[in-house]
Structure formats: structure tokens, C-alpha cells
A = this chain, B = another copy of it.
């Protein structure tokens, strides 16, 4: 049986203070939607069913090459991270799965870890491998690449690590392996751009071969960082061609912050879906590069447009539609628990608004090139304040109407700062 970190009484008490207001706003929203021919109960059910995973590493303070500023009470191991994830899920009721990262989350007994998670109301999502860093005692350095390395032994080590991740994942109940590599170059000429992709594809094929039948391999592209001149899987074009080469179980994962400036990400969603390779998302936001800011904090309208494509794809599944959703962001200046609750809210908000789009009207306007009406159909949905709907769903499921306030009232972080070991300052790597 589950043992959740926040007292249900506290949540109830906090909700009580806010329930009347939520009900009033919900009723108003319901009337408004009804006028527009939308049954709020249908939407409510879909919102209630929606969820997004959180990354285990997201529970710690992130930083930059210049510095990391820790906060008291940060988790220092996967057990503490799971506990923090349980808080996020308990209050948001939207994040029931955790995506682990290896070797960061290595333990001796994965069955025990899985039981620990279940006791906290959590399951495991996609497994993330790490071949962008060297670990103490590692035989071969990834300094010059991993899956695309010119060195066969290094590639073999990277392949073996990914296969180990699959093995761990089986024990944890996961069915996705997310592969992101930092392989690339900082100088023109540093690597042969064609041969490095050949090597990547050969090594990735070995991982693919080890994939269970019901697993997927998700390729994550990234334009730059840590490599600053070229990256082996730098864009969705490279990603989809690699996924085609590897096979049917290989799909593409979109991280919202991994694109060139100005790129139309929602069109990439549509393209990957059109060619049956849309595998999932890493949600975050950004203004300049891979800023890893909180989902929806900078451009919530873009997030809505992404979900507009996803809802459209669900209705028009072509070769299938089952994307994996995860938050992936760096919490440099906030309490990670607060940021992930706020981000889950932003994501569910975008999804809910996309559900409100009058798709018959939209399609009709698109077919007749009534540009203004098509745009206004999207805008009407975007304008709608879905907060009362989301709050109602959370309250229904035992979550908090006001997640931040309830979390603060629980004094969870203060307690953890007493219990947990301190984390050191991050060293500057300028």
C-alpha cells in the first residue's frame, strides 16, 4: 500500500479554503463551454486521464557551467528523488511516472526500488542512458564521443551501457529507452560528418537489436551543447533518418529546447507524426538555446500549438499515436518540486485548451481558406481560462487546488533540509 509524503489532511484542509471559489469558476466555465457546444465532462475525463512523467534528476537544483547554487534539502540519491517526485504527483495528480537516469540512479536491488516507487504511488517511465560524461573508473573516455566514437572499444562500452539500461528498465517496468548522445565536434574538420553518422548508426543498431519486442528506442536530437560546431543527431531530419534506418521500434523524441532559433516546432510534431516516427516529448521552455526553463514559462502559446498538433494527431492517428511525455528542465533558481508542479500545470493547461478547439469549425475554415476564422477558432480555445477545470480534476483525485501554497504549508522542504545531507557548490567550468 502507498505511503505518500504529504498529509492527506493537510491537503484537504488547504482545499477546503479554496473549494467554493473553484466551484463557482468551474460552473461559469461549464456554462460558457456549454454555450459553445462543448460538454465539460468529456474534457474533464480526458484531462483526468492525462499524465506526464518527471525526470529523477530534475528534483535537484540544476546549474550552468558557471555555477550551481544548491538549496537545503536537495535529494542526493534515487530514494530521496522518488520521495520528491511523490510530492509532485500527490499534489498535481498528473505525474505518476518517474524517468530514471543511469548511472546516476544505480542501486543494487531494482525490484526493491520498484516496490519503493509503487509505495509512493509511482511507476517508471523511459530509461535514460548517459554516455556524455565519464564515470570514475570507466575504461574508455567519452571525451571524443560515444556511439559515434572513432574507437571501437569506446563504442562497445557505450552500447553495453545502453543494453544494461534496457536490462534495468525491464526490472523497473519501463518500456522505452531514450538515447541522447553528446557526440559532435567543436571544430570544422574535427570529424568526418558522414563517417561519424555511419558509426553512430552501426552502434545504435546493436542497441536496437537488444530491444525487447514491446520496447521502443527514442532518439533525442539536440542542435548544440555540449558540442558547439556539429552534433551527430542535431535536428529532427537526422533523427528521423536514423530512426528509419534502425527500424520500426525506433521513434523520435522532441525536446522543446533543442532546436535552432525561430524553428516551427509544432510543424515538426506534425511531420514526425505524418511519417510515423513521433515517439515523445521532453517538455521545457527556452528563450535562447537549450535553456531548460520551466515548461510554458516563456512561450505558453507555443506549448498550446504543440498540443493542438497532438490532439489533432490523436484524432487522425495515421500509423499510430502513443507519444511518451516527460518534463525535462533545469531548476536553477526555484525549488524543483514547485517548478515541476507548476510545469505539470502548464502542460495540462495546454492540453486542456487544445481539447477545447472546435475541430469541425477549424477544419471547415481550413478547407475554405477562411484564414481569420481558422485562427480565431484556435484563439478562442487558447483564451479560455481552464484553471478551474484543472483544479477540480486535481481535487477530485486527492491533489491540491493550489499546489504551491499547499506544498509550502506542508513544510516538506524544511523537513528535508533537516534530514538530508548537504549538497556542495557546483564548480565553475568556464
Which residues from chain A sit less than 8 Å from chain B, CB to CB?
Answer: 21, 24-25, 28, 31-32, 35, 57, 62-69, 132-134, 136, 141-144, 150, 182, 185-195, 197-198, 223-226, 228-230, 234-238, 240-241, 259-264, 266-268, 270-271, 273-275, 286-289, 291-294, 297-302, 305, 308-309, 312-313, 316, 318, 330, 332-335, 338-339, 342, 349, 362-363, 365-369, 371-379, 382-385, 387, 404, 425-430
Q: Are A63 and B429 in contact (CB under 8 A)?
A: yes
CB < 8 Å: which of B28, B260, B429 contacts A426? B429
Which has the most chain B C-beta neighbours within 10 Å: A67, A188, A226?
A188
* A293–B225 CB distance below 8 A: no
Which 3 residue pairs are nearest across A and B when measured between Cβ atoms? Answer: A237-B237, A28-B28, A260-B260
Residue of A294, A305, A339, A366 with highest tally of chain B CB at under 10 A: A366
| A239 nearest in chain B by CB position | B237
CB neighbours (8 Å) of A141 from chain B are 69
Contact of A194 among B136, B312, B342 (CB under 8 A): B312
Given contacts A62-B429, A194-B316, A316-B194, contact A371 B286 (CB under 8 A): no
In the complex the two chains form, is A333's CB within 8 Å of B28's CB? Answer: no
A186 in complex: contacting residue of B182, B185, B273, B371, CB < 8 Å:
B371
When distances are taken between beta carbons in the complex, the residues of chain B under 8 Å from A302 are 299
**Closest chain B CB from A128 CB (angstroms):** 10
Chain B residues near A142 (CB, 8 Å)? 67, 69
* Oligomer: number of copies: 4
Smallest CB separation, A12 vs chain B (Å): 21
Min CB distance, A234 to chain B, in Å?
Answer: 7
A239 vs chain B, min Cβ distance (A): 8
Cross-chain contact of A263 among B241, B260, B363 (Cβ < 8 A): B260
Q: Cα distance A298–B241 when bound, in Å?
A: 27
Q: 23 pairs across A/B with beta carbons < 8 Å?
A: A24-B28, A64-B65, A69-B143, A187-B333, A187-B371, A187-B372, A188-B375, A189-B308, A189-B377, A192-B363, A194-B313, A223-B288, A224-B287, A228-B288, A228-B293, A229-B293, A229-B297, A237-B268, A260-B263, A298-B301, A330-B430, A373-B404, A427-B427
